[in-house]
Amino acid sequence: MTKGTVIQAEGLTKQFGDFIAVDHISFEVKKGEIFGFLGANGAGKTTAMRMLCGLSMPTSGKATVAGFDVYKENEAIKRSIGYMSQKFSLYEDLTVKENMRFYGGIYGKSDAFIKQKTAFILEHLKLEKEANLLVKSLPLGWKQKLAFSVAVFHEPEIVFLDEPTGGVDPVTRREFWSMIYEAADQGTTVFVTTHYMDEAEYCNRVSIMVDGRIEALDTTIALKKKYEADSMDEVFLKLARGAKRGE
C-alpha cells in the first residue's frame, strides 16, 4: 500500500448466485481526496460501497479501508468511517441537539467532545436558534446539511456519501458541496456517488462503473481529454451507453 492511501481495492468481487454485481474492481483512494463513484443505476455502485463500509462480505478479492481489512477488521473499519445514505438519516422526532448527542453517543464519544462538537457545528451551520427544535420542523435543505454534519460528527477518516444531494435545491446543493470541500480540506477523504454530472466535476478523481466493472478512473480533466468530451456528462454518456444491464 502506497503512503497516503486510505482505500485500496484489488479484484473486489461480489456475486449473488449467477449475478456478478461487482466484477473484479481495483482502485485506490488517497487521503483527503474527493472521489466520485459514478455509474448507471444497477451498475454495482451501492454493492461496492456496502462492501467497503463493512455491510456486505465480498465474494473474492482484497480491500482495505483506513488500513483495515474488509474481511477481518470490520469493527475497526466501522470506527473509522462515516456514512450518509440516500434515505434520510436523522430522527424527525428528536431535536437537532438530541440527534447529535445520539450519533456522538453511538460512536462512544465523551460528553465533553459531543458538547463541544455540537456547539461548533451549530455555529458553523448558523443553527444555534434551531438547536432545540424537532428535526421534522426544519426545511429539507437544512436537514441534508445536518445529516452530513452528523455523518462526520465523530471525525472519521473517510466519509461515504450515497447520493447525498438528490432533489435538493441548487443553492443548498452548493452549500452542501462547500461542506464537502471543507471536510476534504481538513483531511477527510470523501467517497461520493451522485446523479448530478456537474457534481462529478467537483471531484478530484472519478471512477465510472459499467456493468459491475470500473470502465474509467482518472481526474476529470484527464477523462475529458481521453474521451474527447467537453464535460463529465459527455464522458459518462459515452461510457454508460454501452451498458448491457438494465436494457
Read off the C-alpha cell for 208.
465510472
Query: Given the complex with another protein, which of 41 and 116 has the nearer CB atom?
Result: 41
Query: Given the complex with another protein, which of 4 and 105 has the nearer CB atom?
Result: 105
Read off the C-alpha cell for 39.
455509474
Nearest-approach distance from CB 178 to another protein, in angstroms: 7
Nearest-approach distance from CB 157 to another protein, in angstroms: 13
Q: CA 175, CA 141: separation in Å to the nearest integer?
A: 9
Find out whether 28 and 207 touch, Cβ atoms under 8 Å: no
Q: Is 179 helix (H, G, I), strand (E, B) or coil?
A: helix
Find out whether 99 and 135 touch, Cβ atoms under 8 Å: yes
Query: Given the complex with another protein, which of 27 and 102 has the nearer CB atom?
Result: 102
Q: What are residue 197's phi and psi, to 5 degrees?
A: -75, -25
Query: Given the complex with another protein, which of 17 and 72 has the nearer CB atom?
Result: 17
Spell out the residues 6+ positions from residue 98 whose beta carbon is closer than 8 angstroms to its own.
91
Q: CA 51, CA 243: separation in Å to the nearest integer?
A: 22
Q: CA 21, CA 9: separation in Å to the nearest integer?
A: 15
Nearest-approach distance from CB 129 to another protein, in angstroms: 19
Which residue's C-alpha cell is 462547500? 178
Nearest-approach distance from CB 219 to another protein, in angstroms: 11
Query: Given the complex with another protein, which of 28 and 212 has the nearer CB atom?
Result: 212
Query: Given the complex with another protein, which of 44 and 61 has the nearer CB atom?
Result: 44
Nearest-approach distance from CB 21 to another protein, in angstroms: 6
Q: Is 216 helix (H, G, I), strand (E, B) or coil?
A: strand
Nearest-approach distance from CB 205 to another protein, in angstroms: 14
